[in-house]
Structure formats: C-alpha cells, structure tokens
Chain A
Amino acid sequence: MALLEINNLRTYFDTLRGPVKAVDDVSFQVEKGESMGLAGESGCGKTTVALSILRLLPSNGKTIGGEVLFNGENLLGLDDAAIREKVRWKGISLVFQGAMNALNPVYKVKEQIYEAIKLHEPDLGKQEAFERVRKLFEMVGLEPARVENYPHEFSGGMKQRAVIAMALACNPELVIADEPATALDVIVQAQVLKLIRALKEKLRLSMILITHDLSIIAETCDKVAIMYAGKIVEYGDIQTIFHEPLHPYAQGLIQAFPNINAPKQSMISLPGFPPDLLSPPSGCRFRPRCSYAMQICKEREPEVLTLGKELHRVACHLVAKT
C-alpha cells in the first residue's frame, strides 16, 4: 500500500464568474521513502493539490470529488479536529511557499516551532521541547544557539532551513514542500537542495516537492507528475519522463530549461499561454498550444493511458494512436 494515494481528486473554486476547475481529476501515489515532484506553471493547480491534501483550502475552495488515502485512510472523510490532531504536522507537514515570510516576526523562532510540538505532544515539558528544537536546528545545519533569535536576525537561507526544521518537528511521514528553493540565490538554493536530499536519506522521508522549476526536480526527486491546467498530463519515473517524455507539453517544458552543461543552443519556446480555467478549451486542454493537435483533440478529452510499467502514465491522443 502506498503511503499516500490520490485518486481522481477534483477541487473547484467558486468565483463571481463561475467555478474554476483548479484541480480536475488528479491521481498519483507516493510510496514510503519516495520523493515525487509536482511540476507545472503558475495557475496549473499544483499548490491547490497540496492544500486539498491537508484540507487547508480557502473558504471559496471545495474538494468535490475523489479520495486522498493516507495510510489507507481517506482524509477527505475526516472532520476538522481529526485532521488537526492526527494529520497536520504529525502525519503530513507542509513547507509553505515563500517560507521566508512564513515566520511570525514578533516571536522567537524556538517559540514558533514549540507551538507545533505542543499541539501534538502536550505531555512534553517545555524544556524538553526546546531541546528538540535545538536538535532540529542541528539537523538542518543551523547553529543550535540560534533558536533564541527572531526571524529578522536570519538570512533568507536560514529562514528556509528554520521552516524545514519546523516541518520536521513532529516526525511526519510525509513532507510537502511548496517551492522550497524558489526565492533563494543560486548558491543558497543548492545548499537547501542538498539539505533536502540529505534529510530524505537520513530520515527515510517521503516527500512531495512542488515547483515550477524542473531542474530542481531533476536534482531531488524519484518521480515526477507534470500538471497543466488542472490536470496531470504525464506521470512517471524521473528518468523516463526527462529522457523520453511523450506528452508534447512535457517535452516543451523540459526543453524550456537551459542546461548549463549542454552546448550553446537557442532556446526552444512553447507558443501561446495557459488557458483560463473558467472556460478551459474543449477536449485536450493543451490543444490550442500543441503543434501536433488533431481533430480528435478538440472533440474528446484524452484518457489517461498506462504504458509498459505501471508507473508511466500519459494523457494524450497522440500516444493513444500509436
């Protein structure tokens, strides 16, 4: 049994102009000790997937279908108290996007991490909890004495490490990291990615890494799901997807990232821009930008095909035809 299994998840947002289908029939699994990358451009629904898993959607968002099985239990069926006590921080923790601003500026960092620990282990004494915070700091490569600092005394990279320490405070089985290295400088970003890889090995953590940057996924993940306009267009083992992507969008996205080791070449571009999710195009949502579009792409939404090994899935009429 997979640690996390998501089947046919649908999350819609109510807006004045009608429902936005932010996540539409998304399925994937994360095994124990595995890290999965969830890639896509802004507005493709990748953050909404994370918020749906932890039931943190804003008030106009609603998960209207599908299941989120965590250790076999459907999180969508739990009430708020159960989610708070059993799942958040302890089972699944989230490293928020823009972690640099996720810390409260008026509390010491240790108090903020302590808050999460206290909620789940009320019996633990305050001093013991602080001791754990110091240990966590050491684990993420921060000096333990710095727990006494306020967030403004930290640099960007240090804040990011502190937020990662917080996510690990209650020994979660799964960590979801939303753009964990995005606003950081190249060298600090490399340091954080190295830390994430080291923690994954050491703690046998399962991870979902959400990012628009495929090169970050190539550096840290075992498999990858590529989302476009609320749907997963291709999903599979990282080697397969990067070396033999089948979906035209996946191919385009991978080529859009310059490789510093490759010989000089002109950048390959994808024409057009992502659709408005209030009224997505009929059939395949990528059709208006796809250079291989056929008549059928307009008429019917492509089914998700499983190829060869069970892991590789793709939703494209082009692949169905051959």
Chain B
Amino acid sequence: MQETMIRVTDLKKWFPVRMGFLGTLLSKEQLFVHAVDGVDFEIRKGEVYGLVGESGSGKTTTGRMLVRLIEPSYGKITYHEQDITTTPEKGLRPLRRKMQMIFQDPYDSLNPRMTAANIISEPLESLGVAEGQELEERVRKILEDVELTPPEEFMLRLPHELSGGQRQRVATARALVVNPEFVVADEPVSMLDVSIRAEVLNLMLHLMEKYDVTFLYITHDLALARHICNRIGVMYLGKMMERADADDLIKEPMHPYTKALIAAVPVPDPSSRRTEVVIKGEIPSPVAPPPGCRFHTRCPEYLGDICKTKEPSVVEVGPRHFVACHLHSKH
C-alpha cells in the first residue's frame, strides 16, 4: 500500500485536575487525567483509519491532537515526515489547509448566526485560499458535492433552518472546501437518526475518495468501523490495545479487550443472538489508571502478577497486526 502520512510516537496528553484554592495552599500533589498515555500508530495515505473505544478511552483527545487542536504533552506527531508536534501557531497555518476536522454534534459545531454560505466560506477567507468570484464558485461547487442542491436554496439558510443530516453536510462541506489531505471526523453521524446515518456517511466516504482525502474516523461503534475502515485501532484508558487491518481485527482479535468489545456489540439478527461473554465492571478513572496493563482489573484472561506490575510492550503478532498484551509478549 501507500506511504505513511501520519506517524504518532508515544503520544501523551495529561490534563491537570483542578485542585482548588485549598488544595494548592496545602500543596497537595497535582493530579492529572491521563487522557492519552503513550500511543503509537501510523495512518497511510488514502486509508480510512478507525479509532475505536469507549467513552474515556482518549480517542477524541488523540484525534484532536493530530490536527493540533489540543497541544500534546509528550510524544511526537509527524506529517509527511515533518515534525508537527510543537510547530507554533503561525507555522500551523499552511497545515490547517491540509488537515480539517468534522465534529460530532452538528447542532453545536455550526454558528447559529451564520448562513451556510458564510460557514463554508470562512475557512477559505481566513486561510487565504480564495476570494471574490472564486470563493463563491467554490462554495457553490462544494454544496453541490454534499448534495445540498440547488446551492442557491441552501446558501442563505441559517443552521436552525436545516435538518440534522443537512447540518452535517454543511460541516462536511466546510471541512472539504479547502481541499485538505487529511480529515478527522469525530463520531460524525452518532447524533443523527438511524435512517439518515447511512446516507450521510456514504456521502462522506464517497467525497473522501473522490478528493483523495485520508480519513480518521473516531467512533465507539465497532460494527460500523468494521464496514467502513481499512484499519482499526482499539483504545482503552489512554492506551492503544490493538491495531490491525479491519478484517483481521474482527476475525482474529488477539487482545482480551478487543474480544470483549466484539462480543458486546449487539447483533441485528435474532437467530445469532445472545452473546454471553460479558466482562465485569466499568472503565476505571483515568486520574489513577491501574498499574501494569490498564485492562488487568477486568481482564478475563488475567495471567497474574505480571499484568499488575509490568506494562505490556507492543508486539507485532501478524502482518501489520500489533497487540499490547502479556499473553502475546511472553514468547
């Protein structure tokens, strides 16, 4: 396949926990939310990469760090071999043209006082991509691309005059209008109704392919990721537990967490129903994550002390199939 576009090495993001006046006064130890705590992966040009995990796994924080909406605490992000981890804001401007984001909630991410045309033309203006006649032409073109036609009818609408699906099309148009190379979409269809979801998603995927955009798709829905992604990375409590080609990951999961996650996905087929293997408990607090392997407190294949004390290293168990688990690292 193609060259690596984005490479992430030991990326971390710790958010300080607010201590309050008294806490600072008594000089208690500063606590951190270990939102992302050392993840490695790479995204190749042209692929749809799925970042999957439960809430609190750090998938959104990771996605936002890649486009530098959140400053990484540690680690390295390279984009076409160029280190962009600490590029200052000014130097980021050319990058902003290349990397765009689509947010989860189309009711929140569009300014309610701006018309669709203004929302879409804003990145063109502020990044100095186009102006005047050309700008209008591009807005019109992209509205046609996202199937909000005829464009005249939608250009002057405000977000409240659009349905959820239409808003997410505007958000997609805003991201794609500057011709980016890389787009991060954070649960872009989870707020939409079921029957509209597939349509919006298919449109997004179609456009990403048409404009040769590499796509990072963040979701909690493993079943969906399996159908739209080439590769999947599974996160848990700020760590990447397993990453592999989508088919491999679903058919031959190696990490006990991935297995549990797959088993927990409800299947829309009454004949194959009732998956019984369900792990206990809920995801622990990221302020004080468990030592050793993060998953050892809930792991059905717990090996003993080693899981509690030593953090498993990442092992390549098959072609492009990586797992961080002592079950696979001991031999």
The residues of A with any CB-CB pair to B shorter than 8 Å are 41-42, 155-157, 185-191, 193-194, 197, 212-216, 218-219, 238-239, 242-243, 252-254, 256-261, 264-271, 273-274
Contacts and interface: CB of A to CB of B under 8 A. Distances in A.
B198 A186 contact: no
B114 to A, nearest CB: 23
Contact of B268 (A197, A214, A271): A214
B227 A266 contact: yes
A218 B283 contact: no
B258 to A, nearest CB: 12
Q: Give 8 closest A-B pairs by Cβ, nearest first.
A: A269-B198, A190-B264, A269-B199, A215-B266, A215-B268, A260-B223, A267-B198, A257-B268
A213 B266 contact: yes
Contacts of A242: 268-271
A253 B195 CA distance: 6
Nearest to A183: B55
A212 B261 contact: no
A260 B198 contact: no
Given A267-B228, A274-B193, A261 B267 contact: yes
Interface residues of B, number: 46
A218 B267 contact: yes
B75 to A, nearest CB: 26
Nearest to B224: A258
Given A214-B194, A267-B201, A269-B202, 16 more contacts: A156-B282, A186-B220, A186-B221, A187-B260, A189-B264, A214-B268, A215-B266, A218-B266, A218-B267, A218-B268, A239-B271, A258-B224, A266-B202, A269-B195, A270-B198, A273-B165
B28 interface: no
Contacts, number: 135
A231 to B, nearest CB: 15
28 contacts: A155-B282, A186-B221, A186-B261, A187-B261, A190-B266, A191-B280, A194-B276, A212-B193, A213-B194, A214-B194, A215-B266, A216-B266, A218-B267, A242-B268, A252-B195, A253-B195, A258-B227, A259-B267, A259-B269, A264-B227, A264-B246, A265-B227, A267-B197, A267-B228, A269-B197, A269-B199, A270-B196, A270-B199
Contacts of B278: 187, 190-191, 194
A247 to B, nearest CB: 13
A271 B280 CA distance: 40
B122 interface: no
A97 B165 CA distance: 23
Given A253-B195, A273-B196, A267 B227 contact: yes
B178 to A, nearest CB: 27
B218 to A, nearest CB: 15
Nearest to A267: B198
Contact of B267 (A188, A194, A219, A266): A219
B327 interface: no
Contacts of A256: 194-195, 197-198
A151 B218 CA distance: 30
A218 B270 CA distance: 5
Nearest to B264: A190
Nearest to B275: A190
Contacts of B54: 185-187
Contacts of B276: 194
Contacts of A269: 195-199, 201-202
A260 B259 CA distance: 12
A219 B264 CA distance: 11
Contact of A268 (B198, B224, B246): B198
A218 B274 CA distance: 9
Contact of A264 (B197, B247, B267): B247
Contact of B163 (A188, A197, A273): A273
B263 interface: yes
Given A215-B266, A215-B268, A269-B199, A185 B223 contact: no
Contact of B194 (A189, A212, A218, A259): A212
B195 A260 contact: no
A259 B271 CA distance: 13
B226 interface: yes
A218 B220 CA distance: 20
B274 A260 contact: no
B198 A187 contact: no
